[in-house]
């Protein structure tokens, strides 16, 4: 085990169930180098405890489920593939980072999506969300146009037994 991983695990363990409190981390002040990048989840664990890390994992799972649900509503194959690809990329990135911080994998330099300090990673995550929002907006517009078309067709059909 390396220095950074050792202190990451100490930070996770010292947080306990509820954590030490926001901004009360000792590891980010003196011991865990570059705590704001690859090992930010360890600081979340120290400051917010097990409940904070569990909430973070829950948010990542909710994000993944939302993206894959969006893929089922997408109207074109390319939109479906884009949603699935972005969903898997963000999910994989999140869980690789959590695995590294907890010692289940080697230190890779993969950041936690939307959480770690890192310009190119944050930019990539935001562009991905922008693409997903675009797919969502287009899917909603096409669904609305289809409903309006169906209503027009239904109104133009003669009703049986009516004048």
The per-residue pLDDT for range 62-90, each reduced to its tens digit, is 999 999 999 998 888 999 999 999 999 99
Q: Is residue 126 part of a domain?
A: yes
Long-range contacts of 75-78 (CB under 8 A, 24+ apart): 75/138, 75/139, 75/142, 75/143
Look at the chain and report how many structural domains it folds into. 1
Q: Which of 66-75, 91-100, 152-161 has the highest mean pLDDT?
A: 91-100
pLDDT at 46: 92
Domain assignment of residue 43, given as a range: 3-156
Question: What is the pTM (predicted TM-score) of this model?
Answer: 0.82
Q: Is residue 162 part of a domain?
A: no
CA atoms within 13 Å, Cβ hemisphere of 97: 29
For residues 69-84, one letter each, b for 16 or more C-beta atoms within 10 angstroms of the residue's C-beta and e for the rest, the string is ebbeebeeeebbebbb
Q: Is residue 45 part of a domain?
A: yes
pLDDT at 147: 78
């Amino acid at each position: 085990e390396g220095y950074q991983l050792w202190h990451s695990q100490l930070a996770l363990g010292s947080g306990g169930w509820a954590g030490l409190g926001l901004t009360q981390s000792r590891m980010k002040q003196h011991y865990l180098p570059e705590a704001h990048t690859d090992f930010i989840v360890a600081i979340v664990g120290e400051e917010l405890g097990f409940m904070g890390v569990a909430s973070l994992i829950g948010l990542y799972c909710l994000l993944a489920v939302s993206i894959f649900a969006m893929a089922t509503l997408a109207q074109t194959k390319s939109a479906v593939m884009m949603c699935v690809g972005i969903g898997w990329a963000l999910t994989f990135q999140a869980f690789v980072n959590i695995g590294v911080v907890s010692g289940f994998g080697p230190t890779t330099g993969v950041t936690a999506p939307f959480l770690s300090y890192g310009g190119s990673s944050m930019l990539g995550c935001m562009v991905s969300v922008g693409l997903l929002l675009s797919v969502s907006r287009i899917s909603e517009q096409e669904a609305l146009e289809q409903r309006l078309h169906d209503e027009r067709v239904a109104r133009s059909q003669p009703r049986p037994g009516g004048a």
